[in-house]
Amino acid sequence: MNFKEVIYSRRAVNFFDPKKQVPESLLNEIIELAAKAPSGFNLQPWSLIVLRDPEEKLRLQKHAWNQPKISEAPVTLIVLADMDGWKTGNPFLEKNFQEMVKTGAMNEGQRQWFDGARESLYGSSESRKVAFACKNTAFFAMALMLAAKSLGVDTHPMDGFDMDAVRKEFQIPDNYWIPMLIAVGYFDAAKSLVPGKWRKTADEIIVRFDK
């Protein structure tokens, strides 16, 4: 599938074939393709909880408007966005800095500037922390849905869930926002999807406010 075919054929698939599994190796391939998504300073503040066990998926479903696709899909992902992913001491931040030093993208002398830049861009208010975590993780999530489609696997993103209840149910630490859930599997060919949805045109998307 070329890129245009992937873009046009990806749909939020409401009905999954519960009998058709997504092997772990295929899921890992999808995840690692998605991880090629860009992020600010390459901080990659995303993580996933992978649910396959039917009982665990039902534990999630009860906090997510009881949406049946959560348990019908062979895999449902809880997408996590780390609001502390920019902080000094975060293991991925430190790994990232060392990698940048190794490749010459930064040097140890720039560390103070790097710490200050992250603090002011991402840490200076609660809304900036949420924005940092969620904007980067949304790129990852989109890449994951397109990567899946390119490998013949369907997905469905969802934000119809009670974040506090999901946090409690799966003991998710407070530093994670939960931007969405993603059901992953294969469309149930016995069902039919609603027709493709309308989209804004370029003219409707491009705006100016100063004139």
Ligand X SMILES: Cc1cc2nc3c(=O)[nH]c(=O)nc-3n(C[C@H](O)[C@H](O)[C@H](O)COP(=O)(O)O)c2cc1C
Binding site for ligand X (CB under 6 A): 11-12, 67, 157-160, 180, 197
Residue from 178, 193, 200, 163 nearest 63 by CA: 163
Task: Considering the complex, state which of residue 32 and residue 159 has its C-beta at the smaller distance from ligand X.
Answer: 159
Q: How far is the CB of 193 from ligand X (least distance, A)?
A: 7
| Burial class for 28, CB neighbours closer than 10 Å (0-12, 13-18, 19+) | exposed
Residue nearest to ligand X (CB): 160
10 in Cβ contact with 150 (< 8 Å): no
When the beta carbons of 63 and 129 are compared against ligand X, the nearer one is: 63
Judge contact between 70 and 167, C-beta under 8 A: no
Q: How far apart are CA 113 and CA 205, in angstroms?
A: 36
Q: Which is nearer to ligand X, 12 or 172 (CB)?
A: 12
Nearer to ligand X, 77 or 106 (CB): 77
Contact 15, 72 (CB under 8 A): yes
Q: Least distance (Å) from ligand X to the CB of residue 133?
A: 14
CA separation for the pair 88, 131 (Å, rounded): 18
The alpha-carbon radius of gyration of the chain (Å, integer) is 19
Q: CB-wise, 39 or 96, nearer to ligand X?
A: 39
Q: Decide whether 194 or 206 has the Cβ nearer to ligand X.
A: 194
Q: How far is the CB of 96 from ligand X (least distance, A)?
A: 26
Q: How far is CA 201 from CA 146, 194, 206, in A?
A: 21, 21, 9
CB of 163 to ligand X, least distance (A): 12
Rounded to a whole number of angstroms, the minimum distance from the CB of residue 157 to ligand X is 4
- Minimum Å gap between C-beta 159 and ligand X is 4
CB 50 within 8 A of CB 77: yes
